Amino acid sequence: MKSILIIGMGAFGRHLALKMSELNNDVMIVDKDAAVIDEMASLVTDAQIGDCTKEDVLRSLGVSNFDICFVTIGDTFQSSLEITSLLKDLGAKYVISKSSRDIQAKFLLRNGADEVVYPDKDMAEKLAIRCSANNVLDYFSITDEYSIFEIPVIEDWTDCSIEQIDVRKKYHINILLIKNGSSLVTMPKADYIFKEDDRLIIIGRTEEVLKFTDNIKTFIS
């Protein structure tokens, strides 16, 4: 369990606060809009109305006591930049700020942010890759080169073992786990026999995996 401060209750901030609370973290939220705070107050540990561009407001929150401070301001970049800078000046341990553009991210990182997230950009990229690729059920980028994919089992692989298919050498992918209904096999061994309804969680170079999934036409629907 961690102590979390979330500043800004736009759509992203709200979803973040709800999920953080669901994961049993102590969550404090802050926003200038009293109506939003009233709506969210019962769903988090603590909720405050305040303008966090003002140093005295941030100081009163005791920002150094939180494990992570999120800045999820969506209306003005200037406010996000000011709050990010003030958080670090007041001793915040780790600051994650929301950005929508690369140039904003550069300024945020230079002025106190330990990490910058692009929720809109990241979701758009993920959706674009998943929908344009063949036979990809889900996708998560790890680095610029490597990603994790969920794909259905290839029809020709069923009733064969991982060793027989020689997955790693032939296709340059590693299988992290295999799902089949409620069954889950983590780090499957070489003698694992593929089943008809298996779903594979694989890791590999993004470019190679997409080429592999585009060229294979025998996935089970």
| Beta pairing, strands 146-152 & 138-141 | antiparallel
Asked whether residue 209 is domain-assigned, the answer is: yes
Please report, for residues 5, 84, 85, 111, 199, the alpha-carbon distance to residue 89 in angstroms, rounded to integers and kept in the order given: 16, 9, 6, 10, 48
Average pLDDT over residues 102-127: 88
Closest CA to 70 of 109, 30, 36, 40: 30
Average pLDDT over residues 177-181: 92
Residue 34 sits in the same domain as residue 113? yes
Last residue of a domain, one of 68, 98, 117: 117
Residue 41 sits in the same domain as residue 145? no
Residue 139 sits in the same domain as residue 197? yes
Residue 9 sits in the same domain as residue 102? yes
What integer pLDDT is reported at residue 23 of this predicted model?
92
Total number of domains constituting the chain: 2
Residue 165 sits in the same domain as residue 104? no
Residue 135 sits in the same domain as residue 196? yes
DSSP 3-state assignment of 171? helix
Residue 136 sits in the same domain as residue 181? yes
What integer pLDDT is reported at residue 216 of this predicted model?
65
Last residue of a domain, one of 117, 142, 169: 117
pLDDT at residue 17 is higher than 90: yes
What integer pLDDT is reported at residue 128 of this predicted model?
80
Residue 108 sits in the same domain as residue 198? no
Closest CA to 33 of 20, 17, 47, 50: 50
Write the CATH number for 202. Answer: 3.30.70.1450
Asked whether residue 220 is domain-assigned, the answer is: no
Asked whether residue 94 is domain-assigned, the answer is: yes
Average pLDDT value for the chain? 90
What integer pLDDT is reported at residue 156 of this predicted model?
86
What is the torsion angle, in degrees rounded to the nearest 10, for the CA atoms of residue 98, residue 28, residue 126 and residue 74? -40
Distance CA 217, CA 49 (A): 55
The more confident residue out of 142 and 185 is 185
**Reported pTM:** 0.72
What integer pLDDT is reported at residue 221 of this predicted model?
45
DSSP state of 167: H
Residue 106 sits in the same domain as residue 144? no
Range of the domain at 110: 3-117
Residue 113 sits in the same domain as residue 25? yes
Least confident of 112-116, 140-144, 151-155, 205-209: 140-144
What integer pLDDT is reported at residue 66 of this predicted model?
97
Residue 150 sits in the same domain as residue 178? yes
What integer pLDDT is reported at residue 217 of this predicted model?
54
Least confident of 35-44, 59-68, 72-81, 196-205: 72-81
Residue 10 sits in the same domain as residue 105? yes
pLDDT at residue 33 is higher than 90: yes
The more confident residue out of 54 and 212 is 54
Least confident of 60-74, 94-108, 133-147: 133-147
Write the CATH number for 26. Answer: 3.40.50.720
pLDDT at residue 24 is higher than 80: yes
pLDDT tens by residue, 160-173: 999 999 988 888 89
pLDDT at residue 149 is higher than 70: yes
Asked whether residue 168 is domain-assigned, the answer is: yes
Asked whether residue 221 is domain-assigned, the answer is: no
Distance CA 119, CA 99 (A): 8
Average pLDDT over residues 104-120: 92
pLDDT at residue 187 is higher than 50: yes
Last residue of a domain, one of 91, 117, 143: 117
At residue 125, φ and ψ (nearest 5 deg) are -65, -45
